[in-house]
Amino acid sequence: MAITSEATTVWTGTLFEGSGTVALDSSKAASFPVNWKARAEGDAGTTNPEELLGAAHSACFSMALSHALAQAGHTAESIQTTAAVTFEPGKGVTGSHLLVAARVPGLSEDEFQTFANDAKANCPISQALAGISITIEAELA
C-alpha cells in the first residue's frame, strides 16, 4: 500500500526579495516560513522524511518558477505548489507529483506551462530526485 505525504508552499515575489510559507499538511504542524536566506543557511523541523522531501520539493519548485519568471520580466502575484511524495514500503520513495496554481499577470497559459515545465526539470530538488518519477499539473489562475 502506497503512502502519500504532502507539503504546500505559497511564494510571493522574486527569489532574493520574496518569501513564502511551507505547511506540513499531514502532520498538522504550524506553517514554517521560507525564503532565500533560510534556504541558504538551513532550517529543519521534525516530521517524516517524505513530508520533508515534499516541503523541499514544493519550496524549491516555487522559488525556481518565481526566479525564471522574474528573469523574463514577469512578477508572480502568487505561486502555490503542493508536492505529493509517494512512499511504498519495500520500494522506498517512488514519485513526487507537483500541483501548481499561480497568478502571473500578462502571461499566457502556453507561456506559463513552458515556465512550469522548465522549473520542474531544473529546480535543484527535482534534479536530486532524478531517479524517481516527477509529474506536474500546473494551472494559471
Domains of the chain: 3-140 (3.30.300.20)
Using DSSP, state whether 30 is helix, strand or coil: coil
Q: How far apart are CA 124 and CA 128, in angstroms?
A: 6
* CB atoms near residue 86 (< 10 Å): 19
What is the pTM assigned to this prediction? 0.76
Using DSSP, state whether 140 is helix, strand or coil: strand
Q: How far apart are CA 135 and CA 138, in angstroms?
A: 10
Which tens digit of pLDDT belongs to each residue from 31-68?
777 665 643 444 443 345 677 789 899 999 999 999 99
Q: How far apart are CA 14 and CA 83, in angstroms?
A: 20
**Which cell goes with 31?**
506553517
Distances (CA, A) of 14 to 53, 109, 127, 130: 23, 20, 21, 26
**Which cell goes with 69?**
519568471
Of 25-34, 85-94, 102-111, which has the strongest mean pLDDT? Answer: 102-111
Place of cell 520574496: 18
59 touches 39 (CB < 8 A): yes
Which tens digit of pLDDT belongs to each residue from 84-98?
988 877 788 899 999
